[in-house]
Amino acid sequence: MSGHSKWNNIKRRKEGTDAARAKIFTKIGREIAIAVKNGGANPATNSRLRDIIAKAKANNVPNDNINRMLTKANSTADEDYIPMNYEGYGPSGIAVIVETLTDNRNRTAADVRHAFDKYGSGMGANGCVSWQFSQKGVLVVDREGHEEDELMLLALDAGAEDFEALDDVYEITTSPDEFSAVREALEAQGLEFLSAEVEMVPQNTVTLDKDEDIQSMEKMIELLEDNDDVQNIWHNWDDQQ
């Protein structure tokens, strides 16, 4: 199982300021633009777009905003965002992967490198830490209102690989290829998700013992999340201690 601090990250996003939520909307808008460019604006025939819309709803993006994003993406198909991933090390060697969508690779690379240099141990070459992660579909469901055994059977019957009960959520894991099918099967049963996306899940997690390292890691994540070009930050820091 993932053994990472997904729920902490979700709560931090959901409890953020209006400005932080606006940044989430911007990032999801870019993902929608890429999905529309690659597969069209009809969710019925574009599974990637369906997944992003599910992610948007899990992040409390209103339907009106989603429709505006779709309209904008369909009318600005020439807008060119390039996916770029960066890897490196946080304080005390924490493994970090930064996923971006950018229209200016030089700007984005410089900004990400600055975050690694200021608060971490530097940016490395592609592949330097990604071997420590596995790509998985991850669906997070609120424990309230769901009986554990019943939901576990439902998830496994839908094709999930694993099911875990955490403190206040259930975490359902799938293979990347089965993510859409499992998500849609569970949605058809009336489930709503706190989070629903394909993630880079660390194979093992690392704790930080020094207060200064913890503060540096938090500041590094905050700086990266503040950047509109950054879509996701995956790391193997266990921040639940």
Digit-coded pLDDT (tens) for 24-76: 889 999 999 999 988 998 999 999 999 999 999 988 899 999 999 998 888 76
Q: Determine the pLDDT at residue 4.
A: 45
Q: What is the pLDDT of residue 110?
A: 98
- Architecture, CATH, for domain 82-131+203-235: 2-Layer Sandwich (3.30)
Q: Residue 10: pLDDT band by 50, 70, 90 thresholds?
A: low
d(CA 101, CA 183): 24
* Distance between CA atoms of residues 175 and 143, nearest Å: 22
Q: CA 30, CA 56: separation in Å to the nearest integer?
A: 12
Name the CATH topology of 6-75.
Answer: Arc Repressor Mutant, subunit A (1.10.10)
Instruction: List the domain boundaries for the chain.
Output: 6-75, 82-131+203-235, 133-202
- pLDDT score of 197: 92
Q: Are 234 and 30 in contact (CB under 8 A)?
A: no
> Could you give the percent of the chain with pLDDT greater than 90?
75
Give all strands of the β-sheet with 82-89 in edge-to-edge order. Answer: 122-124, 82-89, 95-102, 230-235
Q: Tell me, what's the pLDDT at 54?
A: 93
Q: What is the pLDDT of residues 128-162, one digit of tens each?
A: 999 999 999 999 999 988 999 999 999 999 999 99
CATH code of domain 133-202: 3.30.70.980
Q: Look at residue 6 and tell me whether its pLDDT is greater than 60.
A: no
pLDDT in tens, 154-203: 999 999 999 999 888 999 999 999 999 999 999 999 999 999 999 999 99
Instruction: Say yes or no: do domains 82-131+203-235 and 133-202 share a fold.
Output: yes
Q: Which two tokens stand for residue 39?
A: 């597969």
